[in-house]
Amino acid sequence: MRRTMVWVALALLVPAGACAEPKDSFARIDQINRASLVMTVETGIVPRALGATIARALDRVAADAAKPGAERPDDYLRIEPLITAIAGADATRMHSGRSRQDIIPTVLKLEQRDRLLNLAKALDETRAALLTVAEREADTIVPAYTNGVQAQPTTLGHIYLGYAAVLARDADRLRETWARLNLSPLGAAALGTSSFPVNRERLAALLGFDAPVENSYDSGQLAPMDMGIELTGLAANLATTAGSFAQDLYAQYHQTRPWILLREGALTGPSSIMPQKRNPVALYSLRMKASDVVGAAQAFVIMAHNVDSGMPDYKRNQAEPPGRTLAEAAEMCRRWTHVLDGLVVDRARAADEVAADYSTTTELADTLQREADVPFRLGHHFASELVSYGRSHDLRPADLPFPEVRRIYAEAAAGSGLTPDLPLDEARFRAALSARGMIDAAKGLGGPQPAEVRRMLGAAQTRLRTDRDWLDARRTGLADARARLDAAFAALTREP
């Protein structure tokens, strides 16, 4: 019963159709065949009249494969007989200067670039969700932790801008990876090209690639391995950040009075026995998907490790992890976005959590140095003694008796050559210990002070718009390339 409820809740996290598979290997081989036919006719490898016959056969094979329940082979050698059954043995001339050794890597790259752009879209949506929360909670004071212990106060906007900055670097890596991914293996043949006048540049353009992979041995025998490692590594890097985010939030569910939770409903699940429980289904769904991605990336590295160049381990259908891993990473981003959309922040509770501990005492030591020329280490020692006193007497910072504060300072300053009198009056002392005062006093680049948070937020939003424009341009470029291929192919079918 409980498991059923959990998985129902998981299913509600993702909109219908969000995980729809992109086109399959049959469709990609058909696209490759069409590009090859156009090129071989243009270069005279295939006579134009025969090209028209082959083109019509390709259309028929594609139409037959589109029928409900029809077989859609994923191996060129199983598709070729379907073509020759219609166009005759001469249709194999289309395969001149080609090999499965360049077709398979091309199929994989066509899949991988679709998946990479899908990941780019999901990543940008997660970044947008982070920035929405960061803007809304720009002034929400929260505790920040180092080594699992409350360290200093900051704002939730500042923290989530930090996560957005990591994802912006992932977007950088994605675009850099695209430049290496979007190069065509087609026309390299088995590994050394062929004696046919194959125009590899034309093949690349017809399939929407920026250019061919120059070295024909690298093209099909080496690039699939290192490209796969790069793609899965990119996904794993992103997943590591997603897992960190999930765990940061998960820690709140260990508390009896958390200051940030998921909205109850689709993002949470009930216990089958404990009425009080609201399990954070969306959080462990995100974390598990991040683990799937990291595991798949490691699996591909192991698969590719110590394999002779040119082996099928990292190229064949069983070696699809790069594409699948990118799809898993995109799904992970979608789950992350749903978590962000469902966050409920208790601002008063967060502020109370900060006020309950001594995370502002660094600013007390800084204030003593800035305003009274007290050496930092002496100020640090005084603040540390103040913390020990307060905790041993179960006092919050705001409740420290000022006479005791002055006494502790005098003891800390003894033997230092400084006056034993605390050089701050009570109002200044209490301001220095306040979370708001500490945050507003920050002056460094990238700090939590309101002006810096607003500046970083504006820059991140501008950067996100630029990245979305990049994605739109890539997709438009692929659509335009496909339209040109379709037009050139359609012209062949009209030949007498």
Confidence at residue 4, expressed as pLDDT on a 0 to 100 scale: 38
Confidence at residue 317, expressed as pLDDT on a 0 to 100 scale: 59
| Superfamily of domain 101-183+220-346+456-481 in the CATH hierarchy | Fumarase/aspartase (Central domain) (1.20.200.10)
pLDDT tens string for the chain (496 positions)?
A: 333 334 334 444 444 333 344 489 999 999 999 999 999 999 999 999 999 999 999 999 999 999 999 999 999 999 999 999 999 999 999 999 999 999 999 999 999 999 999 999 999 999 999 999 999 999 999 999 999 999 999 999 999 999 999 999 999 999 999 999 999 999 999 999 999 999 999 999 999 999 999 999 999 999 999 999 999 999 999 999 999 999 999 999 999 999 999 999 999 999 899 988 899 999 999 999 999 999 999 999 998 898 888 888 887 654 468 999 999 999 999 999 999 999 999 999 999 999 999 999 999 999 999 999 999 999 999 999 999 999 999 999 999 999 999 999 999 999 888 999 999 999 999 999 999 999 999 999 999 999 999 999 999 999 999 999 999 999 999 999 999 999 999 999 998 7
On whether the pTM is more than 0.85, the answer is yes
Terminal CA-to-CA distance of the chain, rounded, Å?
A: 66
Tokens of 18: 């969000």
Note the CATH architecture for domain 358-441.
Orthogonal Bundle (1.10)
Beta strand 183-184 with 211-212 is parallel
Confidence at residue 328, expressed as pLDDT on a 0 to 100 scale: 97
For CATH 1.10.40.30, the residue range(s) in the chain are: 358-441
CA dihedral sign of residues 136, 142, 148, 152: positive
Confidence at residue 129, expressed as pLDDT on a 0 to 100 scale: 98
For CATH 1.20.200.10, the residue range(s) in the chain are: 101-183+220-346+456-481
Tokens of 268: 């949470």
CA–CA separation, 130 vs 343, rounded Å? 11
Confidence at residue 316, expressed as pLDDT on a 0 to 100 scale: 63
Q: How many CA atoms lie within 13 A of 339 on its CB side?
A: 28
CA–CA separation, 218 vs 188, rounded Å? 9
CA–CA separation, 204 vs 202, rounded Å? 5
Confidence at residue 258, expressed as pLDDT on a 0 to 100 scale: 94
